[in-house]
Every structure is written in structure tokens, then in C-alpha cells.
């Protein structure tokens, strides 16, 4: 054996040993995987996807149009086959010439295929091009169906796209060049790490596959999230009331109470000092209270929308009035909490209760005639399934809520993170927003059905009236001065629907602000970031499109504009208030106990 042979053998031996060790580890992990995979919950077919009726209607419509207009569909098929076969022939021709290079690539740019091998390697480029051509053909076939009504067409478009996204070659190891290259580079260690990540996620969720989006060990509430100083000054079975410590010597006399959605936890508004809306509001001189909702267990089965209004909103408002010694408060409602705040205000109007001086709505829907992207999950096939699920369990488990919202952005919140974690063995990032996103809450059975049926499906608040606390309330009974903030690319509360609801409210004093970005980033947008921008237009009698066309565009955050509006509704300055009083002793430091309870 030569010296070079000895050196080569010495270099190869550790690599072979490492590979053998990884293969042994895979065998061990496979046993754990098989064990945990049998533990996942049974998910009813009604909660797995749309009913077969949608696809049957689509197939019938497609066949009917084929009979009546065969030329149109034939043209579509010929266009697809022409592109696909032409690409295949060009690839074969180059290969026959001994050229290991891809043919001309005219497919659209797609960030899923950003790795250079999708462009330079003829095998992977061929797979990518054929996939994108097929995806385009499916999309065009859906658009060519003309006999479905608009809602059915919207649902078919969405769910067909979900199937197309699911079968992307990036989602499978043999056709993902980045994952394969990393596996070769690490002698399979990346695949072992990925399998460990997969099993860890399954074991953490009792056999349900929930992709971990953020490093759960990187954050702890009260230490590096939800750190704004304050105290719990009231608690009942539905919520804890947090009052934040002042940072200014003087504060506005009218306190501000924020109602976050109970679909998620309140600390989205207090992630860290740099982007905390709560801290920022305190620093502007407001006495800020926040409601931290309980995470319901099956014992909350019969908790209703009326309970949230009576024992939640009205109780919280009265406690703030007592603590601060005032007759009126200003209130904020975010998402579903804004919807319920509007119901509360309409009820207070009937009761001649003037405790709320002015109100702010963050990304709030009150008119559900156009339910936006999330509307694909609000037809009877899904809602019937939810109703059956909550009747059995007493709650709508956070598992279902999280999965639904994740599928609205599946490439970003499911497939992309799964690829990085399971195929490439990468640890999830220490990202506060994604950590919050994975910290879900349950919903009470009765409240869930009331909300989905009465508001989302039947749109009663904006039409015939919604029954709450023994009264039938309507949208035009919201008459207090209001400011509404919607987000331009919001996939949960479409801004045009939010605008339509504000238009129907009875308030004479209305301000509407359209923020850039989406449901979360558009709201959690501190001035220091100088991001996204926003639009304003005082004319509320226009259509949504005309409102935006005539609106003034501004750079940066909408927070200072809101502050200017809110400060004018908040009374004179007085000496700063410390949390609680003699009748409201401090029960716990912020962020409280409900937000950390499991």
C-alpha cells in the first residue's frame, strides 16, 4: 500500500464509521417513530377537508362544459401538452448531445425553488419545470369552470391549490436537491437529526404531527416575552385583568382597556420591549389595562357569547372604572375580541350604558357577507364537523384552530418549516412571533358554535340582529366614536369586509386606517421599524376600492396617528396611577397566571 493509499483509507474510515453510526441511530429512531405514530387523535372526515359534494360539482361542471364547449377545453389541454412535451424533447435532445445542462426555462420564479440546483442541474430543473407546468394547468382548469357559483369556485380554487402545493417536489426527499446535498455532505447526519425532530414533534403532541415553528426553550413569559411591568388586579373564571405600571409622571385621565382575541394569547401585543404595543401605549401616558383570557378546558362547555360579554367585557370595564375612579373608559378590541366588543357596545346602547367613551377596532370583522380567505372553512361541511366535535369534547381544541390558520399559509407555516426541520435536520429558530403562533388556546363549545353559525355563516349582526344577553343587537347600534385599523393583506379579516362593517356602524365620528402587511405584522408594527406604511381617508361614504384610490399614503407605523386620535378622547392629564387599589390588591405580577397555564 502506498503512502497516498494509506492517507485515503484514513480519511475514508472515519466517514464510513460515521455513516454506520447514523444508520444504527436511524434503526433506533424508527422504533420510536412506529410507536408514537399509533397515538394520534382520530380526526373526523368532516374536519379533514371539504365534502365530496364540492369535487362532484366541479367534475360535473367540467364535463358539462366539455360537452357544450369542447374547443375551449381542447385548447387548454393542447397548450399544456405542447409545453410539457416540448420541454421533454428539448431535455432529451441536450442529453443526446452529451450536454448536462437544462433546456430553456420559462417557468415563473418561485421561492420554493431558490436553491441553485433547481436551475443548473438538468434532472432537478426538469422536475421543477414539469411540476410548475402541471400546477399552471390545474389552476387554469379551475378558472375555466364557469358554471359554479362564486363561493364554490373560491373553495375549489383554494383546495385544488392546497393539493398542488402538497405535491411540490420540494416536499419529498428524493426530489429535493438541497436536502440531498446536505445529507451527502453530512454522511446522513442531517437526515438523522431530521428524523429526531419529526419524532420529537410527534411525541410532544401525542402522535399528532404539528411542526414546531420556533425554539420553545428560547422563550419564557415574564423573562424575555411579555415583560412590560404590571400586575394582575382582578380575576374571575374567564379572565385576569392586568394593569400596567406607569412610565410617565402624568397620565391621561381616561384609562385604556385592551381586549385581545381569546383564540390566541394576549402577549402578541407585548412580545418584547422593542415591538410591544402595550409598552408603547404606557410610554405615551395611558393607563393601560389588558384582559388575559382563560384557556378553556371541557368544563367551559356551556360558556356562551353572552358569558364573554357579561362576565368578560362588561365586568372588565366596570372593574377598570372602579380602580381608576372614572365614569368612562376607552376600549380596544382585536380580531374576534373586536367583533365581540362591537356586540357589547350595541348591547350597552340598548341598556343606556355610556361607560365606553371611544373604541378602537384592530382587524375586526362585523359584516361577514364576504368572509375573505378564511371563508373556505366556513361552509356547512366544515362547521357541521366542528359542531359534532365540540358536542363530544366540550371544546374546540387549539389543534384544529392552529391547523386551519396554518393551511391559509401552508407553504410558509407547514411545508417550508417541515422541510427545514425533518429533511435538513435544522433546529427551529428562536423567533418570538412564531413561538406565540404555536402557543394556542381552546374555545368553549357553545361559544364556538354561536360564533360560527350566528356571525360567520348567517351574518346576523349586520342583518337581522344577533341575540346576546336577552337582547337582539344590530351593527348600527354601535354609536361611540371609533377608530378602526385593518391590514391590507390580512388573510383572516379581509380589510374590505372590515371597512364594510365600519360603514354600517352608527357612529358619527369614524376614523379608518389601512395598514400595510397582514393580520399580525400590520398591527405589531412599531414606529422604530419604519415599515409597511398605511393609508388614511376621512371620506367613509366611498366604496372600499374608491376609498383606497383617494387615500393618502403615509410611511412607517400607524401607531402615532392612532395616538393623536386617542389622546383627544382621553381627557386631561393627572398624576400617574399605580396598579390596583384597596379593593383590588395585586394578585400576581404580569403577565399573570392564565397566560402560562397549560
**Residue whose C-alpha is closest to residue 327's, from 347, 348, 357:** 357
CB-CB contact of 514 with 534 (8 Å): yes
Q: Peptide bond preceding 153: is omega within 30 degrees of 0, i.e. cis? A: no
CB-based burial, 88-122: b 16+ in 10 Å, e otherwise: eeebeeeeeeeeeebbeeebeeeebbebebbeebe
Residue 521 grid cell: 405584522
Q: Please tell me the distance from the alpha carbon of residue 44 to that of residue 53, in angstroms, as a whole number.
A: 17
Angstrom distance (rounded) from CA 134 to CA 129? 9
- Say if residues 156 and 163 touch (Cβ distance below 8 Å): no
Name every residue whose Cβ is closer than 8 Å to that of residue 181 and which is 6 or more positions away in sequence.
117
Residue 79 CA to chain centroid, in angstroms? Answer: 37
Is 335 part of the annotated catalytic residue set?
A: yes
Query: How far is the CA of 366 from the CAs of 332, 350, 446, 475, 598, in angstroms?
Result: 15, 18, 20, 7, 31
Tell me the DSSP string of 446-467.
HHHHHIIIIIIIT--TTTT-EE
Phi/psi of residue 49, nearest 5 degrees: 180, 180
Cell, residue 399: 389543534
* Local structure of residue 414 (DSSP, 8 states): I
Phi-psi label, residue 217: left if phi above 0, alpha if psi -120 to 50, beta otherwise:
alpha
Q: Taking the CA atoms of the chain, what radius of gyration do you get in angstroms? A: 28
The active-site residue, picked from 335, 456, 483, 487, is: 335
Q: Are the CB atoms for 44 and 385 separated by under 8 Å?
A: yes
Tell how far CA 261 is from the center of its chain: 12
Q: Tell me how long the chain is.
A: 598
DSSP string covering 293-352 = E----GGGTT--HHHIIIIIIIHHHHHHHHHHT-S-EEEEEETHHHHHHHHHHHHHHHHT
Instruction: Please give the positions annotated as active site.
Output: 335
Amino acid at each position: 500500500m502506498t503512502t497516498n493509499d494509506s492517507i485515503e483509507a484514513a480519511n475514508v474510515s472515519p466517514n464510513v464509521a460515521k455513516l454506520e453510526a447514523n444508520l444504527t441511530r436511524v434503526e433506533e429512531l424508527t422504533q420510536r417513530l412506529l410507536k408514537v405514530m399509533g397515538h394520534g387523535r382520530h380526526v373526523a372526515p368532516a374536519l379533514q377537508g371539504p365534502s365530496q359534494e364540492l369535487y362532484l360539482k366541479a367534475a360535473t361542471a367540467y364535463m358539462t362544459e366539455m360537452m357544450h364547449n369542447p374547443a375551449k377545453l381542447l385548447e387548454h389541454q393542447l397548450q399544456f401538452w405542447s409545453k410539457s412535451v416540448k420541454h421533454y424533447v428539448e431535455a432529451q435532445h441536450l442529453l443526446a448531445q452529451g450536454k448536462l445542462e437544462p433546456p430553456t426555462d420559462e417557468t415563473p420564479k418561485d421561492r420554493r425553488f431558490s436553491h441553485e440546483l433547481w436551475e443548473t442541474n438538468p434532472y432537478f430543473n426538469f422536475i421543477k419545470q414539469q411540476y410548475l407546468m402541471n400546477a399552471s394547468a390545474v389552476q387554469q382548469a379551475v378558472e375555466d369552470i364557469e358554471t359554479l357559483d362564486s363561493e364554490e369556485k373560491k373553495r375549489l380554487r383554494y383546495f385544488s391549490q392546497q393539493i398542488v402545493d402538497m405535491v411540490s417536489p420540494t416536499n419529498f426527499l428524493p426530489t429535493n436537491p438541497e436536502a440531498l446535498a446536505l445529507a451527502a455532505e453530512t454522511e446522513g447526519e442531517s437526515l438523522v437529526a431530521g428524523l429526531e425532530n419529526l419524532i420529537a414533534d410527534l411525541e410532544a403532541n401525542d402522535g399528532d404531527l404539528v411542526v414546531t415553528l420556533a425554539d420553545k426553550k428560547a422563550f419564557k413569559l415574564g423573562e424575555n416575552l411579555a415583560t412590560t411591568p404590571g400586575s394582575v388586579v382582578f380575576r374571575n373564571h374567564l379572565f385576569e385583568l392586568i394593569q400596567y405600571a406607569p412610565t410617565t409622571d402624568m397620565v391621561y385621565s381616561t384609562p385604556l382597556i385592551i381586549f385581545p382575541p381569546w383564540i390566541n394569547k394576549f402577549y402578541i401585543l407585548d412580545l418584547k420591549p422593542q415591538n410591544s404595543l402595550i409598552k408603547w401605549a404606557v410610554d405615551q401616558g395611558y393607563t393601560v389595562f389588558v384582559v388575559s383570557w382563560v384557556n378553556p378546558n371541557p368544563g367551559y362547555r356551556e360558556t356562551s357569547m353572552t358569558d364573554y360579554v357579561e362576565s368578560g367585557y362588561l365586568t372588565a370595564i366596570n372593574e377598570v372604572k372602579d380602580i381608576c375612579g372614572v365614569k368612562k373608559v376607552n376600549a380596544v378590541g382585536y380580531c374576534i375580541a373586536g367583533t365581540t366588543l362591537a356586540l357589547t357596545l350595541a348591547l350597552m346602547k340598548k341598556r343606556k350604558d355610556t361607560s365606553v367613551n371611544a373604541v378602537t377596532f384592530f382587524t375586526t370583522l362585523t359584516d361577514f357577507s364576504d368572509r375573505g380567505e378564511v371563508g373556505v372553512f366556513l361552509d356547512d361541511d366544515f362547521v357541521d364537523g366542528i359542531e359534532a366535535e365540540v358536542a363530544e369534547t366540550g371544546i374546540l381544541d387549539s389543534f384544529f384552530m392552529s391547523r386551519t390558520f396554518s393551511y391559509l399559509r401552508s407553504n410558509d407555516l407547514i411545508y417550508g418549516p417541515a422541510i427545514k426541520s425533518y429533511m435538513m435536520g435544522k433546529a427551529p429558530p428562536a423567533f418570538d412571533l412564531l413561538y406565540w403562533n404555536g402557543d394556542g388556546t381552546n374555545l368553549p363549545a357553545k361559544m364556538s358554535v354561536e360564533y360560527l353559525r350566528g356571525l360567520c355563516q348567517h351574518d346576523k349582526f349586520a342583518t337581522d340582529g344577533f341575540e346576546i344577553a336577552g337582547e337582539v343587537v344590530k351593527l348600527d347600534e354601535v354609536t361611540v366614536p371609533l377608530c378602526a385599523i385593518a391590514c391590507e393583506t390580512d388573510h383572516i379579516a379581509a380589510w374590505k369586509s372590515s371597512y364594510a362593517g365600519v360603514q354600517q356602524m352608527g357612529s358619527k365620528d369614524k376614523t379608518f386606517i389601512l395598514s400595510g402587511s397582514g393580520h399580525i405584522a400590520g398591527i405589531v408594527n412599531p414606529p422604530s421599524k419604519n415599515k409597511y406604511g398605511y393609508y388614511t381617508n376621512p371620506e367613509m361614504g366611498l366604496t372600499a376600492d374608491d376609498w383606497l384610490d383617494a387615500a393618502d399614503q403615509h410611511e412607517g407605523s400607524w401607531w402615532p396617528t392612532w395616538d393623536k386620535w386617542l389622546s383627544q378622547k382621553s381627557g386631561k392629564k393627572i398624576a400617574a396611577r399605580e396598579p390596583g387599589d384597596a379593593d383590588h390588591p395585586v394578585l400576581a405580577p404580569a403577565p399573570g397566571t392564565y397566560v402560562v397555564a397549560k
